[in-house]
Structure 1
Amino acid sequence: MTIPARLEEKLAPALKAALGDALPEGFAPAVAVSQDLRFGDYQCNAAMVLAKQARMNPRALAQAVIDAMGDMPICTMEIAGPGFLNFRLKPEFFASCASAMLQDDRLGVPAAAEPKTIVIDFSAPNVAKPMHVGHIRSTIIGDALARIARFMGHNVITDNHIGDWGTQFGMILWGWKNILNEQALADNPIEELLRVYKEVNALCKEKPELLPVCKAELVKLQSGDAENLAIWERCVAVSKSGLEKIYDQLDIHFDYWLGESAYNDALAPLVDEMIASGLARESEGAICVFSDGTLKPQDDPFLVQEKGEWKPIPCIVRKADGGFLYATTDLATLDFRTKVWQADAIWYVVGAPQAQHFRQIFDVERMRGITGDFRHVAFGSILGSDRRPFKTRSGDTVSLQDVLDEAIERAGKVIDEKSPDMPAEEREAVSRAVGIGAVKFAELSQNRMTDYVFDWDKMLALQGDTAPYLQNSYVRVRSIFRKVEGDAALPESLTLTEDAEIHLARMLVRFGEIVPSVLDDCRPNVLAGYLFDLARAFHSFYEACPVLRSEGAVRASRLALCELTSRVLKQGMALLGIHMPDRM
């Protein structure tokens, strides 16, 4: 049980004792971390919330609650301002919690009380196209959420819903048969397929008569033509092979790669069922879903306000020409995930511009009686130094592979400067850990809805809110133990007297509260920010409290704090998908 939960458990009967029948039924006090340690470690505003309806002075009610709670072995209590209840944890309590964490493989993080089956849909690049810098956010955020949810004890299913079906394949099929370079395909399949697609797309603009020929190739594919199906399968296979090289470099792995094609056979029956139930109807030749009128207009994803009037924006599930859309495929995918995988929650890590799309399909599912924790985990854009979408100097989209290669190369130069004598094999591994870690942490330290500037110098800096800073902090902690002579056994109990010791223990104990909170709104930046604050607390402790030069119980306690710091840093960064090298 986390510290806020323990305090809330004590507060509830105290509020009942102070208010009697005036306590609203079902009221649950909420304890939050204090933003300013001058006011204690935790705060509760329950007295101010309840005082008015109980016709009491808030401070008087707060005092009555403190009196009802009596002496608390874990903290002291005080009243601040108009009636805040402040809780200041005792050093002995921090010491006992830190000792318990040292004996706990989970480092104080409680497992989920009710484990769920959670499907996380992330990355989802298109077949026959290289991954670009825009895929960073979905791929890295999705992986971090999967790692954290698994650590919490949930049954997590990761699915890479690749774009492996659609109109672009008509052009690729024609290009494969007419302009493909087999040697180039063997050397770099994704680049060759992209070249084919671009050239055919340009040819279609020059010669409009080619477009229906490409569409005919697509129709043959969709009809099960053996030749086109074999080409399509090879396109998917070589593309997947190329994508897996990047995922391996990122240490990201998927349970499934069920692309759009996996649901192709389910689309027509789905639309027919929606028509038969009256949920979908024809409009201008297309089959659409309109608002059912149960939501307020401002909350209705099927309405938009224009010139003071609410106008319909239906969800189209079948075009007038009989073709299906992303909405149709996503509805079929939701059906599969809820019925076959029995998902309690389905999270889509997809850019913010798709918000309207997901609001509509989630609401269509509601109309169909299919419910669950459906979330669109949206995110903003990555910008260049000009604060425009990150591009190459020529204006092309930046390749994700190029980003990762450059990150590793730049990290290698930093390692050469700091540790010129490091063996080549170790240098390569450390450069990879630092470079890839820098890219990941630069992403995960941001509020996911915020646009951010891609800055190499800041990303790889050994100071500030960066992965190298945290990795270097871990290396610094472990270096202490390489200098320990004799027995470094950890004590059964800790003694904390100095402010820096107490604050480091305070930060370590909060790990058990931070990790579960990440999943509340899918915010990995909460964990990233915590790890940065923990590293700063360690450096302050290290400067103020000599470790190896201290003696007896003080030395043992400080070594225990160092050991616990290294464990939390390593576990916390692992939950973000970032490796910690032993040397830098």
Structure 2
Amino acid sequence: MASVTSLTASVDQRLATALQAALPDAGSADPLLRRSDRADFQANGILALAKKAKANPRELAGQVVDALPADDVIQDVEVSGPGFLNITVTDRAITANLAARAADDEGRLGVPRAEHPGTTVIDYAQPNVAKEMHVGHLRSAVIGDAVVQILEFTGESVVRRHHIGDWGTQFGMLIQHLIEHPHELDHGEGDARDGQTAMSNLDRLYKAARAQFDADEEFKTRARRRVVDLQAGDPETRARWQKFVDESKLYFYSVFDKLDMEIHDEDVVGESGYNDMLDETCRLLEESGVAVRSEGALCVFFDDVKGPDGQPVPLIVRKSDGGYGYAATDLSAIRDRVFRLKANTLLYVVDARQSLHFRMVFETARRAGWLNDDVKAQQLAFGTVLGKDGKPFKTRAGATVRLEDLLDEAVERASAVVREKARDLTEEEIAERGTQVGIGAVKYADLSTSASRDYKFDLDQMVSLHGDTSVYLQYAYARIQSILRRAGEARPVAHPELELAEAERALGLHVDAFAETVAEAAAEYAPHKLASYLYQLASLYTTFYEKCHVLNADTKAQKENRLFLCDITAKTLHQGVALLGIRTPERL
């Protein structure tokens, strides 16, 4: 089915045509249409156009009104102030548009696919090999997954990338320790192969290796040599390194599974994936003059990047000892994503503290010609997770909070809320709903805040039935499902001929804005805009539910139409919340 033209787009198109008729020399004039509290819409573009044409704005507004077509979309237009237009659409247009969305046989609610989709590579969910995931890993995973879902829904071809597989000094330390203690990661027959056991083994080995590294200078030297062997592709070193990666992935995947996220092996590409490209990347940068040698290292300099002493701070692509830094890997990854994967857009969901590094890497790639007007790279920099005290989230002892502990507590709190409200749910169903509500609460708290801002992690607020929480959205959806079940023989049927109550109009107009909201969230990589839309949708539904009798409506047609409004709202909530990676239980 073709996409449905929203009421905003329909009104905008009619106004643009009327403006063209009133001011033929204005070209394609923008009416500057927006939603309004005074009417359904307000057009603010006439004042600027009148000034340009040296015309009286109120007279021009009147001419535009006269030129509007007489049809079933616009009911009334009022000229106010210096040429503003307050526009009210017909009840028929609202219901008819929603009916067209409901009739979408693809289940997309009339949301169009992008006219010119491209290929986006998105780098997100980047835990550290051989280390436990902590609260700092939460945002990259949650924001990245939501952006992936939203972009794919709009028709974009998305390639996921998870930077798992670093190798640096710590890996030389770990591998050397494992070579000297070869049975540290062995598994006996019948030993558990779950994520938590894998992490316990890695943690034990890491502590032992760190103690040896700090206490033994000769071991420290051997460990550093082992990093060079790793980058050079020494078979024994690579085999030991792969053992760490495989053990870590067992653990990572178990945590991502708790987060209700899918991570696939083919999408996991760390530093090792670009190792064979590093030398060529350096050669290309040096031959083109983008990088120069400085004190034995290969560097890129920037006029606007200086240290506290006023001296230039370069991006070091290759160190003076011949080793490669993160910059060489990141630049090689850009080459791979642009030339092999044919990406138009590169997104990096990475902590804001890495902003300078990425700014330098992107500028280097632009100078080299790998990024240009046709291929863009952007960091989706995210802020810090804070505790209730407004400081970086830590345990009472001051340690970093383990991500698994945090997720388990969220599920426990949510299960208590579900149990308190549950009427006909079994213990198994309470546990299932508790997981969906708890994980949804954690994700939504993150996604309802602009990614660039810090946010406070407050589980009590997150699992609240009141306020801007995923639980509020989930209960709104479950309430609608309950009404639809209790409707008996009555079915949701749209009746465009009916007049709508104020609460029905407000709800219907907001549902109709779903497609535009999804498009905006996709274009700006802004899941928080979709979250805000969904919270307002649930709030408008609550008002509708309180003010408009559904099952006890005055007539059969009104009952069917209100059931239809319930149904299209539920479908919109379900689809929108799914794009944020959150589930909507049918019963709560």
Structure 1 length-normalised TM: 0.92
Question: Is this contact kept in 1: 2:154–2:522, CA < 8 A?
Answer: no
2:570 aligns with one of 566, 569, 582 = 566
Contact 2:135/2:401 (8 A) holds in 1: yes
Say if 2:19 is the partner of 1:18.
no
SS of structure 1 residue aligned to 2:523: coil
Deviations 1:195-228 (A, max 9, x none): 3324433443344443212112222323333322
Q: Give the equivalent residue in structure 1 for 2:119.
A: 117
The answer to which of 486-495 and 274-283 deviates more is 486-495
**Cα displacement (A) at 1:381:** 0.7
Within-5 A mapping of 1:39-188: 40-71=39-70, 73-75=72-74, 76-104=76-104, 105-178=107-180, 180=184, 182=186, 188=197
Matched letter for residue 123 of structure 1: A
Determine which of 512, 522, 530 is the counterpart of 2:525.
522
Q: Alignment partner for residue 281 of structure 1, among 286, 289, 292?
A: 292
Q: Please state if 1:480 is matched with 2:483.
A: yes
CA distance in 2, matches of 1:234, 1:141: 29
Alignment deviations for residues 413-443 of structure 1 (CA, whole Å, 9 cap, x no partner): 2222222652122122111111111111111
For 2:467 and 2:288, locate their aligned partners in 1 and report how far apart those are by CA, in whole Å. Answer: 58
**Offset from partner CA, 1:41-79 (integer Å, 9 cap, x none):** 333332222333322333333333333334453123333
- For 1:280 and 1:304, locate their aligned partners in 2 and report how far apart those are by CA, in whole Å: 15
**SS in structure 2 opposite 1:485?**
coil
Equivalent position SS for 1:303 = coil
Residues 9-47 of structure 1: CA distance to partner in whole angstroms, max 9, x if unpaired? 3333433333333x2x6x55164433x422x23333322
Q: CA deviation at 1:114?
A: 1.0
Question: 2:260 corresponds to which residue?
Answer: 251
The equivalent residue for 1:384 is 387
Per the alignment, do residues 310 and 7 of structure 1 end up closer, same or farther by CA in structure 2, a change over 3 Å counting? farther
Sort the Cα spacing of 1:281 and 1:52 in 2 relative to 1 into closer, same or farther, 3 A: same
SS class of match (2:128): coil
User: Which secondary structure state, in structure 2, belongs to the residue aligned with residue 519 of structure 1?
Assistant: helix
Q: Which residue of 1 aligns with 2:534?
A: 531
Q: 1:553 aligns with which of 520, 544, 557?
A: 557
Aligned to 2:304: 303
- What are the within-5 Å matches in structure 2 for residues 93-492 of structure 1? 93-104=93-104, 105-178=107-180, 180=184, 182=186, 188-254=197-263, 256-291=267-302, 302-304=303-305, 312-370=312-370, 371=372, 372-419=375-422, 422-488=425-491, 490-491=493-494
> C-alpha separation between the residues in 2 aligned to 1:407 and 1:542?
29
Moved more, 455-464 or 117-126: 117-126
- Could you tell me which amino acid in structure 2 is paired with residue 559 of structure 1? L
How far apart are the structure 2 equivalents of 1:433 and 1:208?
A: 50
- What residue identity is the alignment partner of 1:53? K
SS in 2 for 1:374: strand
Instruction: Determine helix, strand or coil for the equivalent of 1:78.
Output: strand
Partner amino acid, structure 2, of 1:238:
E
* Cα offset, 1:407, TM superposition: 1.1
Q: Identify which range, 310-319 or 424-433, moves more after superposition.
A: 310-319
Indicate the SS of the match to 2:23. helix
Read off the aligned partner of 2:246 and give its amino acid letter: A
CA distance in 2, matches of 1:457, 1:175: 44
Equivalent pair of 1:132/1:398 in contact (CA under 8 Å)? yes
Secondary structure of 1:282's aligned partner: strand
Per mean C-alpha deviation after superposition, the further-off stretch among 513-522 and 494-503 is 494-503
RMSD: 2.3
Q: Which moved more, 1:370-379 or 1:125-134?
A: 370-379
Distance 1:555 1:421 in 2: 27
Aligned residues: 568
Alignment deviations for residues 430-472 of structure 1 (CA, whole Å, 9 cap, x no partner): 1111111111111111111111110010000011111111111
Shift in CA distance, 77/312, structure 1 to aligned 2, threshold 3 Å: farther
Worse-matched range after superposition: 570-579 or 152-161: 152-161
CA distance in 2, matches of 1:520, 1:29: 20
CA shift, 1:306, in A, is: 8.1
Distance 2:136 2:428 in 1: 31
Flag the 1:326–1:86 CA change in 2: closer, same or farther, 3 A.
farther
Matched residue, 1:294: none
CA contact (8 A) 2:72 2:92 kept: no
Q: Note the C-alpha offset of 1:305.
A: 6.9
| Residue 585 (structure 2) aligned to one of 578, 581, 584 | 581
CA distance in 1, matches of 2:51, 2:424: 69
Residue 7 (structure 1) aligns with: 11
Shift of 1:492: 6.0
SS state at 1:87 partner: strand
Q: Distance in 2 between matches of 1:465 and 1:504?
A: 18
1:99-125 deviation line (CA, Å, top 9, x unaligned): 111111211311111111111111111
SS in 1 for 2:397: coil
Decide whether aligned partners of structure 1 residues 90 and 426 sit closer, same or farther in structure 2, where only a CA change above 3 A counts: same
Instruction: Encode CA deviations 1:475-513: one digit per residue, 9 max, x unaligned.
Output: 111111221222425346462421111111111111121
Relative to structure 1, the CA distance from residue 241 to residue 306 in structure 2 (aligned partners, 3 Å threshold; closer, same or farther) is: closer
Contact 1:122 1:348 in 2 (8 A): yes
Q: Which stretch of structure 1 is more off in the superposition, 449-458 or 82-91?
A: 82-91
- The CA distance in 1 between the partners of 2:59 and 2:313, in whole Å, is 55
The 10-residue stretch of structure 1 (454-463 or 340-349) with the greater mean CA deviation from structure 2: 340-349
Distance 1:81 1:191, change over 3 A: farther
Overall identity of the aligned pairs, in %: 41
Contact kept in structure 2, 1:408 and 1:431, CA below 8 Å: yes
Q: TM-score normalized by structure 2?
A: 0.91
Distance 2:361 2:158 in 1: 22
Return the alpha-carbon distance in structure 2 between the equivalents of residues 194 and 201 of structure 1. 10
Aligned AA for 1:516? A
Please give the alpha-carbon distance, in whole angstroms, between the structure 2 residues aligned to 1:115 and 1:506: 28
> What displacement does 1:525 show?
0.9
> What SS does the corresponding residue of 1:188 show, helix, strand or coil?
helix
**Partners of 1:494 and 1:409 in 2: CA distance:** 49
Secondary structure of the residue aligned to 1:37 is: coil
* Local SS of the residue matching 2:158: strand
Is this contact kept in 1: 2:110–2:515, CA < 8 A? yes
Shift of residue 178 of structure 1?
A: 4.4
Question: Could you tell me how far apart the structure 2 residues matched to 1:100 and 1:222 are?
Answer: 58
Deviations 1:387-407 (A, max 9, x none): 111011111111111111111
Asked whether the 8 Å contact 1:108–1:509 carries over to 2, the reply is no
Structure 1 residues 138 and 421: alpha-carbon distance in aligned structure 2, compared to 1, 3 A threshold:
same
Q: Which runs of 5+ in 1 are unaligned?
A: 292-301
The change in CA–CA distance for 1:241 and 1:339 in structure 2 (over 3 A counts) is same
Letter in 2 for 1:265: D
Please give the alpha-carbon distance, in whole angstroms, between the structure 2 residues aligned to 1:306 and 1:120. Answer: 31
